[in-house]
Structure 1
Amino acid sequence: MKVLVVGDMREGTNSKSTAAGHVAAGHTVREVDTSWLFEGSRFSPRRWSVSKARIADPFGDARLAREIREATSGFAPDVVLAIKTIYFKQEIVLDIPAERHVHLSFDDVSNPDNVSARYLAAEAEWDLVVTTKRHNCSEIEARGGRPYFMWAAYDPRYHRCDTEFSSRKYGIGFIGAARRDRIGLPSLLGSHFPGSSIVVGPRWERAYPRGVPGLEMRAAAMGTDYTIVANSIKVGLVLLNSENRDQHTNRSIETPAVGQLVLAQDTVEHRELFTHGESALLFSSLEGAIRLAQQMREDPWTAARIAAAGTEKIRYGAHTYRDRAVQLADALGVS
């Protein structure tokens, strides 16, 4: 199968891993990178247009159309896979000659932050709208689209276990962006796990310019940088995005893949993935999460056992991006 993947192709992104998964599945892949849309200062006209108006400027549309023409020169794709191309004129992608046109989003496509007027007006024209949010399926269908639910995935190139559990530096850590509903997390971890806790991700340093006693704070880590920092953490907190109404997220799959003990919010989908007390620990409040993490600190043998069971469950559960590529090809009936 020949696949044209259009999306943010920076190393370590979901889009890049999706393309790599199709290559691993034996497909011929060409990429069109849209990461340039988010370049520039926060106050540049392009960034303002994307973040506020939810639209690419005319120069952005023209650039995408040109780069697609270049990528498809001498290459006739069977499938066009567009990953969150909501800011562009949809016909730029939908008009590419191909047997199937698929839109994929790893975010909630009913959250206004993750859609645009352009995308919603053309949603029904996509042959398949792939979502990792099961609750999106009925909503997409009600809008006239053809939804398909797919679990999140991990990329074995980066989401791998390189360090023994007992040798990891940090007892507990969180890898993810700062958000209003989790802004107190660094202080909570620093006070309960002083010298043994870490938070990694964008905007934390902006919220805590002087840092937090007892806690290490780092900027976002991608690709091999993510592998290194993730392998330094024993217990990995999985906090979901309430605005996306998450029941699981990519981190739900990546956390056990890197050998961390999964400490995740208790949801229906997390209970489908894991068994509480056997392959993960599930909590209903941050206070409960802290108590569970403290118990694991006092019982390192049990912590290591649960972490290993979670890793094995994901590793042998068909959760790589290659597995998702095979699944999508089957759903499309294209080989």
Structure 2
Amino acid sequence: MTDKMDCVVIGAGVVGLAVGRALALKGREVLVLEAADAIGTQTSSRNSEVIHAGLYYPTGSLKAQLCVRGRDMLYAYCEERAVPYRRCGKLLVATSDAQLPGLESIRARALANGVPELQWLTREEAQALEPALQCVAALHSPNTGIVDSHALMLALQARTVINAAGLHAPGLAARFAGLDAAHVPIAHYAKGNYFTLAGRAPFSRLIYPVPEAAGLGVHLTLDLGGQAKFGPDVQWVESPDDLLVYPARGDAFYAEVRKYWPGLRDGALAPGYAGIRPKIHGADAPAADFVIQGHAVHGVTGLVNLFGIESPGLTSALAIADHVTALV
């Protein structure tokens, strides 16, 4: 008889729950701890709820590998467990000729990442799919989708510590005895604001601009009820609790959205919600890959730390869980 749990997972967001499920399926005794009074109240529920195809991420990175694998696992899991989702597809649009090389670069990277189903569309072909769209060319990603993230987390409930605490993972890791501080990255908080649309948008697919630094640009996403939202932007903040959406930020949203949807009416956008990306790089640094550290990296027996699990973390959650279980 022992008073120690076999596995403790810290953080009951989508990744922590997925890791707990994967460990339990392997016959491990698992306890999932959460600071909030409900599951998935932070990063996991304050995002675009998009199932990503795996287009953007550096070839060979964990983001690329786990997103592509996790996408297929997630669609299968949603189908098996009746989690609401829709494989609606996405258009990644170039709104000027100057953006065409960037669009071609994304297509090449997607092919290298094992995402061959992308289609290059001319202006006319893109507008045949989405008549309200303005662009010079687009990439059609038919395997991008949307999911009810809360329903997904509910479906996942089911001597090792898995630190999947998201925004608080670096701070928590710094408190573990025996863990060298060199293995704990500095937390940076990139707030993403969303604005919602009054009425229905004339689109049936997700619309993404060519990516910008630190994010994927102000894109149009749909929920499973067909309601549109725009965002997230990138606003570097000091506190992970800074979740207010200020109406004044709407001016920049109108300017960005009208690059690909000139028909957006004045006054149609309202402040929605905000989320904080758990980044481990600052505003002027290149994007960081997922960091998943086990004993082989930090030398602490029975500890796995997950840092920087931002987008595509939701898409990758089930694959991340398998990756983590292989470390313990």
Is the shorter-chain TM-score for this pair beyond 0.5, marking a shared fold? no
Could you say which structure has the higher helix fraction?
1
The higher relative CO (CA closer than 8 Å, separation ≥ 6) is in: 2
State the TM-score, normalized to the length of structure 2: 0.29
State the TM-score, normalized to the length of structure 1: 0.28
